[in-house]
A and B are shown apart, each in its own frame.
Chain A
């Protein structure tokens, strides 16, 4: 891959960096309890929480760092943090 003049790049390659590998705890999203408020999607610093066709939310585990903000902020306590299996 040849160098871009002036150290420049188009977007896209940051996705090569799978930050999910950083995780110690993973968030588990319980759709039964979810009220579809969307808070988790708004406040995720990675922007990796997406809405499915039914209006429920899930994180992208390839990028989720397991920071736990979604679990902490969910008004319905629908997200629980579980230690990753080694």
Chain B
């Protein structure tokens, strides 16, 4: 059913439809509306869940670990400082192979303190072993939660998943979103039935320690599971398309890519602005296209190489930077294109909520055309 709704509300509703039994919540801008909405949902009996108001984000994810290990589908949401505080717990949850789903309302990391959007937070945890989905709009943000649970809980995967959507830009924006009915959600997402759980009827020890004789193999298995998730995403996406008409089977999505000479690669809400700019540029005769990355982990290396085969130059928009080096997306795209001879230019853009407009995308395309890249875009030189 189509409704005009705030991004956070749509996400909260999607989570409700996924029927988590335990929700752990700690407020942090700009995710707060999600946990508030869920609190109201639980208080009014619209979701039969235990809602734990934890005392920090660290505890939020730790409580999810306990609940998931005990056999419950579980949920939390965070961003920025909260996600950074959970750093240790994120690695722990993935290593323990618990299919927790967490929404990240992407926000810049301090210092300096910022409540506004960029993708540094989730990207900085790309090593942790979590699936990472990035939403372009609130429809994707909503749908990706069903997909995330379905993929995370699959026996071949059993890994936690982050559903990332840009803080304020998506979380606090009203857009039309088609919500599933509970019956449809239940059909798509069956009850959580893990093979192992903490149970006095069949005692098991979870989270044992691994000596050097075993650790390497455990890491290999986790890596394999994350890579095997690619085919699980494909199947889950195809099934969603069959049932609801929206296709999430591809990890990357092209826009006016077919004959594009300059291809912009980006993740998240910036893709909307890029598409509008491409439409303008195309009408002026420029051959520009977009490759949107929707799944960042596992990294769709082959899919990117295949999609960008015919391009003359790649302009990667990075809403993050590994200080002292480059943006993460550019570095990984470059790796995917290694040997192709296609130049990849990195543009650091939109950090800390700096507004990205069509003129900024035009500037990127122009710079790429001149062979100039690996720089910040939109710097206010007068304050430097």
Q: Which of B94-102, B117-125, B143-151, B373-381 is found at the contact surface with chain A?
A: B94-102
B210 within 8 A of A: yes
Say how far B347's CB is from chain A's closest CB, in angstroms: 39
| Chain A residues in 8 Å Cβ range of B98 | 6
Complex alpha-carbon distance, A8 and B96, angstroms: 8
Complex alpha-carbon distance, A8 and B208, angstroms: 6
Complex alpha-carbon distance, A8 and B214, angstroms: 12
Chain B, residues 199-215, CB within 8 Å of chain A (1/0): the string is: 00011111111100010
* Residue of B98, B203, B206 contacting most chain A CB atoms (<10 Å): B206
Chain B interface residue count: which class? 10 to 19
Say how far B160's CB is from chain A's closest CB, in angstroms: 11
A53 within 8 A of B: no
| Chain A residues in 8 Å Cβ range of B214 | 3, 7
- Which residues 1-53 in A have Cβ within 8 Å of B in the complex? 3, 5-11
Pair B218/A7 contact, Cβ less than 8 Å? yes
- Which residues 140-159 in B have Cβ within 8 Å of A in the complex? 158
Pair A8/B210 contact, Cβ less than 8 Å? no
Pair A5/B97 contact, Cβ less than 8 Å? yes
Complex alpha-carbon distance, A10 and B209, angstroms: 14
Say how far B73's CB is from chain A's closest CB, in angstroms: 17
B196 within 8 A of A: yes
| Chain B residues in 8 Å Cβ range of A8 | 196, 204-208
Interface size on A, residues (CB 8 A): 8
Pair B203/A6 contact, Cβ less than 8 Å? no
Complex alpha-carbon distance, A6 and B159, angstroms: 10
Chain B, residues 215-251, CB within 8 Å of chain A (1/0): the string is: 0011001000000000000000000000000000000
| Chain A residues in 8 Å Cβ range of B158 | 5-6
| Chain B residues in 8 Å Cβ range of A11 | 203, 205
| Chain B residues in 8 Å Cβ range of A10 | 202-205
Task: Output the nearest chain A residue to B205 by Cβ-Cβ distance.
Answer: A9
Complex alpha-carbon distance, A11 and B199, angstroms: 13
| Chain A residues in 8 Å Cβ range of B208 | 7-9
| Chain B residues in 8 Å Cβ range of A9 | 204-205, 208
Pair A6/B96 contact, Cβ less than 8 Å? yes
Complex alpha-carbon distance, A10 and B208, angstroms: 11
Pair A6/B217 contact, Cβ less than 8 Å? no
Complex alpha-carbon distance, A5 and B129, angstroms: 14
CB within 8 Å of B: which residues of A?
Answer: 3, 5-11
* A-B contact list, 12 entries, CB within 8 Å: A3-B217, A5-B97, A5-B158, A5-B196, A6-B97, A6-B98, A6-B196, A6-B206, A7-B96, A8-B204, A8-B207, A9-B204
Nearest first, the 8 A-B pairs at minimum CB distance are A6-B97, A6-B96, A5-B97, A7-B208, A8-B206, A10-B204, A8-B204, A9-B205
